Structure 1
């Protein structure tokens, strides 16, 4: 079977699985000035390699910016919000029933840095949380996903979206691979910028799917350029990473062991990664590793990587690729159960099965839950 035929099969499979439901357009970024009792306002900062449609606007396109663009959005989460769900507006946004953009501001680099530092200090030095989205995601989908996870985690902190120019099309897989390659410098630049001020605390990074490959490449770049001090400030989680296993092994070898260990969230029944594996010549993806395989367990310990199977988590995603998004809602209860909400860290290298009761390990809730909101 040729690569072209494999690609066609991959795209057809995703189209059939995901259906033809309309996706939110950029109109959801238009501010609404209404407010309702009980709504929660989440401020999300943005650093992106997407180009602006207009010099002072925040209508980010699929074009590639020559340098990072910066912005801030205030998103209203409705009073009746269900954890793990984004209540998209049906027509004009209504803060009483849907997520709504309250305010958006275009920032320059200096103002972005100043505001993030000030926000970090205002929360008592809590972590900054950087979210790197995955394949086939529009800017507004990534932005509202981070707002959802931040609200669900219900902790203080500074959430930052790193948005790269995904085509947001099922047929854009190859273009998205090129876009994440283009964005490696941008992510390394953002992490370096954030690490300049130690008052912001540690920097948590949650990367999803293809964004995990981008993140590992940025870390590799930081290591090779002698910026180990930046890497030392990071707590990194890769959720459903769309990375060839051999490529991942070589990336880890260059990046070196992280402290706390790099955490990888996997699910063996991830449909999207299964199809991605086929298009890659039947090569196994990291996000589908079997934690019960002794070889995986041994390799995880040897590489100082924590691999956690989260297949037990429910998801409304037919591709079973977005399970990580529900971890944020579990964070408050599980962190309290483990007693690690105050910053304790029980992460360890190895391969584990997620225990929803919170008696196995803490990293999924600490990182994929609280870190998104900067906890």
Structure 2
């Protein structure tokens, strides 16, 4: 038992965070500076089940709040920004070289709803081991790189932001299911007749999203589900749990997109922590049984292994989002949703194409 207690945090530390320094919470504090003319300003709206910090009211910590809190942040992205990267300040924030928080506002539910009314909405649900500031700046980075017109919305659940808190984070996900369900219901209600709500959920955030979709179906909220475009990136979900979630959710008007890579080292360790149960995000779609199961689910599963991975091959979705302008130029496709049917596909990062697995295997 003692060896297991030592092994699990060590493995998680090595594979999921590389034990690197974390950005301080002070990066959320608004800085009174004039950004350069060629900086990009990104307005982020946040809905969170985290507690607001009493001594730093501009920030949210790992504590669990009763109900949702709402906020807005304006983030300046530096002129020399590299797609897929977050240029964190190293010392006093400099808008010439760093991501900088320019403005922050705590919002009432009514003000939050008014700010987003009539706009396209894109929700990011972060994964395990994320602080609020990491999730917020990642949302800003993806908003800047994708050039999408949707208003970026961060849904942040109370992750402990610690490599040793995997089980506590899973509890934080379960704690936040009702809140995400309520947020999606409100966003769907605000949209026009043809309006859509896009959701990108990463890793453990995909577990939370699937639970929210399941709850919406059990509540009979087919009207909400019909407005959702869902992408699950490297979902950290046990395959059997995922199968049961998918059974209850049933077919969606827009098939759920699942981004997978069989060489995801972080999910391999998650499986090891979970008594060897494989995670959905690391399935091999070349396996006929797995492929048939995913196709039977009515989802579209896309292997994105061709994207050059980070050290642990768990964050490829970031690079896929950064490729959006090129994808739009070559095929008019939004990452992951340009394929309009269910099935199994492989993304070719060289040709910028989504190829049917049947065609790939035949070549």
Bin for the TM-score computed over the shorter chain: over 0.9
Q: 2:7 is matched with which residue: 2, 6, 9?
A: 9
Q: 1:176 Cα deviation (Å)?
A: 0.3
* Partner Cα distance (2:84, 2:14) in 1: 24
Match runs of 1:126-205 below 5 Å: 127-199=120-192, 201-205=195-199
Number of positions where the alignment pairs a residue of Structure 1 with one of Structure 2: 350
- Find the residue that maps to 2:69 and give its secondary structure: strand
Shift of 1:315: 3.3
RMSD of aligned residue pairs (Cα, Å):
1.8
> Runs of 4 or more off by more than 3 Å in structure 1?
4-8, 16-20
Partners of 1:306 and 1:350 within 8 A in 2: yes
1:19 CA displacement: 3.5
Distance 1:55 1:49, change over 3 A: farther
Whether the aligned pair in 1 keeps the contact of 2:347 and 2:353 (CA below 8 Å) is: no
- CA deviation map 1:40-72 (0-9, x unaligned): 000000000001123993321211111100000
Q: Is the 8 A contact 2:117 2:191 kept in 1?
A: no
Q: Residues 13 and 164 of structure 2 are in contact (CA less than 8 Å); yes or no, is this contact kept in structure 1?
A: no
Which range moved further: 350-359 or 98-107? Answer: 350-359
Q: Is the 8 A contact 2:339 2:354 kept in 1?
A: no
Instruction: After TM superposition, list the pairs within 5 Å mapping 1:221-240 onto structure 2.
Output: 221-240=215-234
Q: Could you tell me whether the CA contact under 8 Å between 2:332 and 2:338 is conserved in 1?
A: no
SS in 2 for 1:295: helix
Structure 1's 98 and 232: CA in aligned 2 closer, same or farther, altered over 3 A?
A: same
The one-character-per-residue Cα deviations of 1:92-151 (angstroms, maximum 9, x if unpaired) are 111100100010000010000000115x1xxxxxx3100000000000000000100110
Q: Which runs of 5+ in 1 are unaligned?
A: 121-126, 363-375
The residue that corresponds to 1:109 in the other structure is 109
Per-residue deviation at 1:32?
Answer: 1.4
Shift of 1:226: 1.2
Question: Is residue 25 from structure 1 mapped to residue 28 from structure 2 by the alignment?
Answer: no
Higher relative contact order (CA 8 A, sep 6+): 1
Alignment of 1:246 with 2:244, yes or no, is no
Task: Tell me the distance in 2 between the aligned counterparts of 1:345 and 1:82.
Answer: 25
TM-score (normalizing by structure 2): 0.92
- Worse-matched range after superposition: 233-242 or 53-62: 53-62
Deviation at 1:347, TM superposition (A): 2.7
Gaps of 5+ in 2: 357-363
Match runs of 1:1-375 below 5 Å:
5-6=3-4, 8-17=6-15, 18-34=17-33, 35-54=35-54, 57-117=57-117, 120=119, 127-199=120-192, 201-316=195-310, 318-340=311-333, 345-356=338-349, 357-360=351-354
Change in Cα spacing, 1:104 to 1:248, as seen in structure 2 (3 Å) is: same
Tell me by how many angstroms 1:340 deviates.
Answer: 3.8
Q: Deviations over 1:294-320 (max 9, x none)?
A: 11221122111111111111233x222
CA shift for structure 1 position 253: 0.3
**Distance (Å, rounded) in 2 between the aligned partners of 1:193 and 1:166:** 24
Length-normalised TM-score, structure 1: 0.89
